[in-house]
Homo-oligomer: A and B are copies of this chain.
Amino acid sequence: MSIARTAGQSGGGKILDDVADLPGAMADMGRRARAAGRSLALADPARKTAALKAAANAIRDSSSAILQANAEDIAAAGDKLTPVFRDRLSLDAKRVAAIADGVDVVAALADPVGTVIAAWERPNGLKIERVRTPLGVIAVIYESRPNVTADAGALGVKAGNAVILRGGSESFHSSRAIHRALVQGLASQDLPVDAIQLVPTRDRAAVGDLLSGLGGTVDVVVPRGGKALVGRVEAEARVPVFAHLEGVCHVYVHAPADLDVAKRIVLNAKMRRTGVCGAAETLLVDRKLAATHLKPLVEMLIAAGCEIRGDEQTRGVDKRVVPATEQDWSTEYLDAILSVKVTDSLQAAIEHVGRYGTHHTDAIVTDDQVAAEKFLSEVDSAIVLHNASTQFADGGEFGFGAEIGIATGRLHARGPVGVEQLCSFKYRVRGTGQTRP
């Protein structure tokens, strides 16, 4: 009996950390995902929606079981947990309810499958349509946040894909309990339960198997987690990856710029939440504004509890500014720390972003429309903004309803990855007997 079959049939099943033939079992999981994906690709949109709503309700109904599983995870982790880690891993009734609500949000999204993206007619009368189709099979590799199990499973299924989930070993029981509820939702609509599979082993070798593509059955890998996880996935994956390694995001304030607007955007971009990938890590200030804007910006940030690491000129405006090293310009702090530099020109700012940035999200604050357009054109990042906070780097804020993460790659998905980005496409051509001359 393979581990995968156990998991697929029971929506959870036995924990099988000791599998004689792990690669074989994983390959079987991939084959069943492919078959489930083919079936789901043709499923009636209403059934997908109903299944996800049923899954949300199943999460609510099994709240106590999920919390019990979570307590097991917390107990198993014991003293190893840092406070931050414990917070990520811990569930309570409110968090479980929020997970269920998140699945309902995905259920309510417009179905992307079959949408006509473009349509045109050729001189010979052929009518060509480009339509969205599911991508196929998506492997999601994540760490200790149990909610990713529900988010990723729901988004994948909404887009008609099969999903293989591999959560962190610390959240193993919590993820299994949530996965069980998702599978109940699929089963309630007779959708293939293999459409959302959870790797039923904590054996880390399973990650390597997923990254190999399971013999061509995995179309894309999505890592959700810290830099170490994403780095490993990007280095080892033999299939395409939707991810960003780091978000070294910039706010550049260019003259002329309203000081109040600049203060509001800089404060929000850095301090609204410091741990998100769209948080600003570097502030660039136009030399023309150094006399008027630099000091108020720095003082505002320090008053808000932000450490400033500045270049020489920035250190000149406040004694509390510590010297920035070369390393600072390429550091993603994910904390209440900001590097600040005075730049000589728009061009110098664009070059700084190109050199030290990570092609994630960068903003210009200015009243100069020409400068703004040049920044928006020339900065090669997934998201570029004018007079808005970098923390808008989020699928929900883009109107995508939900996202599985932000991608900085150049192929297929870039920026927030929502249901549309989890789709492929094909061409439908309608003729009346045309042949090619």
Query: Which A residues lie at the B interface, using CB under 8 A?
Result: 38, 41-42, 114, 120, 122, 126, 128, 133, 135-136, 219-220, 238, 240, 258, 261, 264-265, 267-269, 272, 354, 372, 376-378, 380-389, 391-392, 394, 397-399, 410-412, 414-415, 424-436
Chain multiplicity (copies)? 2
B399 lies within 8 A of A120 (CB): yes
Residue in chain B with minimal CB distance to A420 = B118
The 8 A-B pairs at the shortest CB distance, nearest first, are namely A388-B431, A268-B435, A412-B412, A410-B424, A385-B429, A391-B436, A261-B433, A411-B412
Q: Which residue of B lies closest to A235 (CB)?
A: B238
A431 touches B383 (CB 8 A): no
User: A385: which of B238, B264, B389, B431 is its contact (CB, 8 Å)?
Assistant: B431
| Contact between B430 and A397, CB atoms less than 8 A apart | no
B415 touching A265 by the CB < 8 A rule?
no
Contact B135 A410 (CB under 8 A): yes
Task: Given contact pairs A128-B399, A240-B240, A261-B433, enumerate 15 new A-B contacts (beta carbons under 8 Å).
Answer: A42-B378, A133-B380, A135-B411, A219-B410, A264-B433, A268-B435, A382-B427, A383-B426, A383-B429, A385-B428, A386-B431, A388-B430, A388-B432, A388-B433, A398-B427
Q: Which of A122, A383, A427 has the most CB atoms of chain B within a 10 A radius of its CB?
A: A427
Residues of B within 8 A of A436 (CB): 268, 272, 389, 391-392, 394, 397
Known A133-B380, A385-B429; contact A126-B392, beta-carbon cutoff 8 A: yes
Chain B residues whose CB sits within 8 angstroms of the CB of A384 once the complex forms: 426-429
Q: What are 24 A-B residue pairs whose CB atoms fall within 8 Å in the complex? A: A41-B380, A122-B398, A126-B397, A128-B399, A133-B380, A135-B410, A240-B240, A240-B411, A261-B433, A265-B435, A268-B435, A272-B436, A382-B426, A385-B430, A386-B428, A386-B430, A387-B431, A388-B435, A389-B434, A391-B435, A410-B424, A414-B424, A415-B426, A415-B427
